[in-house]
Each structure stands twice: as structure tokens, then as C-alpha cells.
Amino acid sequence: MRFTSYLAGLTLVALCPLGAHATTSPTFDFYGEGPLLDQTSRLPLFKSGSLSLEVSAKTNSGVANVVLSNTGLGVEGGLLGNDIEGETGDTLTLSFSQTVRLTGIQLSYWDRDFLFTGDRATLSWGGRTITLGEGSYAGTNDILYTTIGLSDVVGQTFTLKASGKSDFRLAGLFVTPAVPEPGAWATMALGLVGVAAVAGRRRRAD
């Protein structure tokens, strides 16, 4: 029994690299990181470690530019200062370089209960859609931005679309690779080899 517990402990140590991507700050942080004055780009590309993120924008009238600023990402052509606006059908499409797990999203200018309804947006991926701004996806109030925790959101392409009279900007994303990187697999394999070696020596000693 003691040996089994020891073996289980070593296995957990070997698996630790799989959780090494957890972070308390956004993986992609757009708030306070952009230019002071709005700039536009058709397909801006962002990088964080081994992950790449390409962002595109659309309105009801078609393809639009992405707005970059120090308050987050918006969509060019809106009525309220290039925010992501529901009345104009603004959409941001987030395309990652690999399958990821989206564990949280930050939205600036986000009002939870403004004018009785608050801001609303949908997040869609892989045939699934959730509504941000209600229930467990209402977010936490903050002067600068709100953070909304997500669970079981895994994919490579995500669509963020404002609804109703909402207007806000994308301030940040909490993301981890859904599949461990090669380095993590290698570390885990070495750990398991060590576990096997210890087990072999223990058997010979017995």
C-alpha cells in the first residue's frame, strides 16, 4: 500500500507540466497595451508564447477593420466611438493557431445592469453559443472592465457578437492550449520513465 501511494505521488509530479499554463492574468491583454489613439487593422495578429491569435471584424454591411486602442479591441464604423455595438451587428472573430481552452474573457465599457438590461453579447464556437451578460456569464463589476469566467469552451475559432443596445470592447482573453505542447509531453514521459525505474528497483529489492 505504501509503495502504491509513493508511485501515485510520482505520477502526479510527472503530470504537473500539463497544468503549467494556468495564469491569473489574461493570456492576451488588450487593455492598456494598445495605442492611446484608435488605430485600425484588417487582420491584426497577436502572440503569447507559442499561441498566435488573428482577429477579424464584421458589421451588418460586411467586412470591417478591427480597432486597436489602450481600452481594448473594437470594430470600425460604429456609432459610439468604434466599440463593438449590438445595433450595428458588430462581430469579432478570434482565430487561434491551435485548439485552445478559453477559460475567461474581459470586456471594457461593459455594463451589467445599465438601463434595466445591461450589455449582452453572444460567444459562439463549434456549433455552440452562450450569452454573455446574464446568469453565470454576467461578469463582475469593475470600473475599468468586467471579467467573465467560462467553462467547457474549447475550439480554435470563436465569434464574439454584440446584441441589443450593447457597446463595449474586448479587453482580454484567458487561454490555455487544449493539447499539451511537445515539451510538456516530453517532461511527462521522462517522469513516467523515472516512475518505472523506481518500481523496477523496488521489485528487485523485494
pLDDT digits (tens, 9 = 90+) for 28-85: 999 988 888 889 999 999 999 999 999 999 999 899 999 999 999 999 976 667 999 9
Beta-carbon contacts of residue 50 (< 8 Å; ≥ 6 apart): 97, 177, 181
Say if residue 116's pLDDT is above 70: no
Q: Is 143 helix (H, G, I), strand (E, B) or coil?
A: coil
Inter-residue contact 110 to 84 (CB < 8 Å)? no
> What separation in angstroms does the CA of 194 have from each of 1, 14, 19, 120, 197?
19, 9, 20, 51, 5
Q: What is the CATH number of domain 25-175?
A: 2.60.120
Q: Which three cell numbers stand for residue 5?
A: 501511494
Domain residue spans of the chain:
25-175
What local confidence, expressed as pLDDT, does residue 201 receive? 57
Confidence of residue 204 (pLDDT cuts 50, 70, 90): low
Which pLDDT score, from 0 to 100, does residue 70 have? 93
If you ran DSSP here, which 8-state letter would residue 71 be given? B
* Residue 179 pLDDT: 77
Amino acid at 116: F
Q: Which uninterrupted H or E stretch holds 33?
A: none
pLDDT digit string (tens) for 147-203?
A: 999 999 999 999 999 999 899 999 999 999 997 545 444 454 455 555 555 555 555
